[in-house]
Amino acid sequence: MPANILNLPCYAITSLEENEHDYHISAESINSPTGCSYCQSTNLVGFGRREQLVKDLPMHGRRVGLYISTRRMKCRGCNKTFSETLPEVDAQRAMTQRLVVWIGKQAVKRTFASIAEEVGVVEGTVRAIFRDYVAALEDQFRFETPKWMGIDEIHLIKPRCVISNVHNNTIVNLLPNRDKKTVIHYLYHLDNKEEVQYVAMDMWAPYRDAVTEVLPSAQIIIDKFHVVKMANEALEKVRKSLREQLTPKQRRGLMHDRFVLFKHQRDLTDKEHLLMDGWTANYPNLGRAYALKEEFYGIYDADSPQEATRRYEAWKQSMTQEDSEAFADLTRAWSNWNLWILGYFDHPVTNAYTESLNSLIRVMNRLGRGYSFEALRAKILFAEGAHKHKNSRPKFERKARETKTVIPDDACGCGLPDFAVSAPKPYIPKESSTQQPRNYGVDISTLTALIEAGDI
């Protein structure tokens, strides 16, 4: 019988049977027990055998079952019986240790059901192994607590809360939902949470309330993107309402209107300027909505909260009753979130990764059919090669002070005198090469590229 078919030198194979789907391999441990598992006495005597079925890595497209003839021993010292410990077998599960590791890694890339079918176990077993595997990864990868934190959402099966490092354009965690209780629990257990200075977020009250409760010294800033997006949504509302009233021929005259209307005026081509002029002349309410959207964007060019407030009030006063109805959600949000929206003009912190995150969402949704959230989370957070270990903006360090050389009046003016004071000490970084490199999280752009290339 080929002894190396398993590549487990601690076992001797006694028989092998195979069929279309499975290998059935009988084996026994080469080395007998040398001590009692209770009292460590070496005065042992055999007490029969029993067969244990242990699953192993699939081979040649077939599932593998090891039927291990396990010795039972009796200790003459304490008079207790015990079964021998099987080498290379997981202590908690009836499978080899290498199979447990393989399942954990595969579960990040594949569905639990496909792995269970390939190995010959129930899906719940794969899920339990994956849970333990992810827990071990959580201990292995410790992401730096961001000083500029972003709290946003990503739609993976349903809305989830995503925690990011704004400075480094990285993801540091994905939470199962965006409830206040969940966010509070995460923030409360965050290492060095007192170091968080600014938190950029959208206008979702549970995020604000959680940060206020757990990080009272952090400055909450409503992300610029989420505010100006509401101006686009108001314009879209006007555009759709208008198109509903038009004939098919008139609608053709507004071909590609959405693409053009959402562009900034400064970015329009000559052709698009001509189109815009025609639409404005024929549909004045659409032209006003576009102008209001552009003027609202201009509020974010203000240099201070006071100037932004003046610009906003002037913008609001310029609206007609019809305009006010279209932009009602935006004006209501500005009123309710005014304090945190204006915080941007003192501290222009924004989730600059938003576009990258949107690309990631599209990729993950396309990829995510059949995956659980836990698998998608692990795929994102623990993707090999996607972690960023260098801060995009390193901490400011005071330059090394130079040591002045004192030269007597009667010294020669060329070269260094023998009695010169010692040279300046070389700069030694605080973080030595022997320390564990810092991990700032998963770089969103790198992760998206890896997934699109099929490397994850």
Strand pairing partners for 45? 74
Structural domain boundaries in the chain = 1-89, 94-140, 146-178+350-456, 224-346
Can you point out the beta strands (E) in 316-399? none
In the numeric block, the tokens 């795929």 are attached to 379
State the DSSP string of 92-152: SSSBBHHHHHHHHHHHHHS-HHHHHHHHTS-HHHHHHHHHHHHHHHHHH--BPPPSEEEEE
State the DSSP string of 277-307: HHHHHH-HHHHHHHHHHHHHHHHTT-SSHHH
Query: CA separation (Å) from 111 to 36, 75, 116?
Result: 42, 46, 9
Q: What is the pLDDT along the chain (456 residues), one digit of tens a residue?
A: 455 678 888 998 999 999 999 999 999 998 888 899 899 898 999 899 999 999 999 998 899 999 999 999 999 999 999 988 899 999 888 999 999 999 998 887 778 888 999 999 999 999 999 999 988 888 888 888 999 999 988 877 788 898 988 888 888 999 999 999 999 999 999 989 999 999 999 999 999 999 999 999 999 999 998 999 999 999 889 888 888 877 787 777 676 676 777 777 787 788 877 877 777 788 888 889 989 999 999 999 999 999 999 999 999 999 999 999 999 999 999 999 999 999 999 998 877 665 566 666 666 666 655 667 887 788 788 877 778 877 765 554 555 555 444 444 444 333 333 433 344 444 344 444 445 678 888 877 777 777 767 666
pTM of the model: 0.71
